[in-house]
Structure 1
């Protein structure tokens, strides 16, 4: 009987050690390596939809004041520049950053369009980078139900190509929307210029109420892929219903 009790105790302790090990690995990953962010708006359509859970690499650029684990960044001296082992985002990266212009501050997700020294301009909906029009190729006209109003929106789907042949999809409802004429603006050192892929439905660096030029120390990390999604849409004739974003690059 004692032998059976001892064996049961050993098995329980082994299970406890296994669970503790799994918990430690998970805690290490979410603390130092990755985080999951919820997509609350349509500003990054068609790449990201409302309800998507996005995997963000916190170490992709090193660590910033907002991505250091356990809130360590907020305890460091004010004269620290807010970055450790840092290298800068590239054009085309999708980044999560802290928008401190909002009250209270909140995390946003946008695509990096301009880096230090770039001149950004938008003319009649077309993006210009350093005086050159960024190529965009027509794909199709789409109609979909907007969240949460469920009104039908018609937009044009383009593929846009940033320097380095970095392609991504964008939506343009029209080329004379309020943010379709902007700049030119030069990206200051230590900042990036960001835009949403849904160009006429994004409060981004172009907007008076947007984040402006985003300081690099406010960048939390790089969005890598969609982990899973809670987005649900019913198939209707003539309406686009998004599929196939999970575990694909952004």
Structure 2
């Protein structure tokens, strides 16, 4: 009899432990950090397909999209606007909810409210001034299906057969800070073609309360250069910001994190710049 009671007590304690673990995980997931897995190559070479990171949800405050499973029609967090809002910085790598597609995107913030953004021959202009680009050699990778989507990369030297070396031109771009007193932000960008359709745009003025995002892999990114009417991102209102990507925790070049032979140890715990 005593043994039966002890077994029942042990079972109840196990259930309690599981419940509390789920509660703690839910609180952390909702308030502090959100896991994010990089599915595409739009942010190369800052982020590679298969990078796994945690998004800092405290960086910009909280909106209805800060909660897990939130959508345009429903959110477990019925928040109007943003709580504890903080202004993002130009150059931040940000996860945001696509205003129409209802999926999370990750891009670099290049345009603040009121900024005038334009691309001219592949060079980014902010308020009429070019963001300087310095040649930084080539970015190379194997031409092969990448990640769960199995999409091969685009290359400067295409056509490249599977298993061949895929080359992209790499530059270091310098973005101005939010204010004249802020330090500039340097980061890598990649170039594939000098005649891609988004290498030249009209002047795009960022509305108040909204932001302009671009991928670092400039010729392979669906971002704010394309309006939502043609499947792009367009301007992103502040309420759709989820958080800032600060550090890569894990990375795998295979279709699954379980493929240990494809792990990239040199990217574990690497800061996102």
Does residue 157 of the first structure (1) align with residue 132 of the second (2)? no
Unmatched segments (≥5 aa) in structure 2:
153-161, 177-182, 256-263
C-alpha deviation, 1:87, in angstroms: 1.6
Which deviates further from its counterpart, 65-74 or 215-224? 65-74
2:235 is aligned to 213
The answer as to whether partners of 1:31 and 1:70 remain within 8 angstroms in 2 is no
| Correspondence 1:137 to 2:159 | no
Residue 70 to residue 106, structure 1, CA distance change in 2 (3 Å): closer
Deviation at 1:246, TM superposition (A): 2.6
Gaps of 5+ in 1: 234-241
CA distance in 1, matches of 2:75, 2:22: 25
Residues paired across the two proteins, number = 238
What is the TM-score normalised by the length of structure 1? 0.81
Q: 2:252 aligns with which of 230, 233, 250?
A: 230
C-alpha change, 1:230 and 1:76, in structure 2 (3 Å) is closer
Partners of 2:23 and 2:80 lie apart in 1 by 30
In structure 2, C-alpha distance between the alignment counterparts of 1:201 and 1:139, rounded to whole Å: 19
Q: CA RMSD in A?
A: 2.9
Q: 2:211 aligns with which of 192, 203, 206?
A: 192
2:196 is the counterpart of 1:173: no
Match of 2:30 in 1: 31
For the Cα contact (< 8 Å) 1:32–1:69, is it kept in 2?
no
- Equivalent position of 2:121 in the other structure: 124
In structure 2, distance between residues paired with 1:113 and 1:243:
30
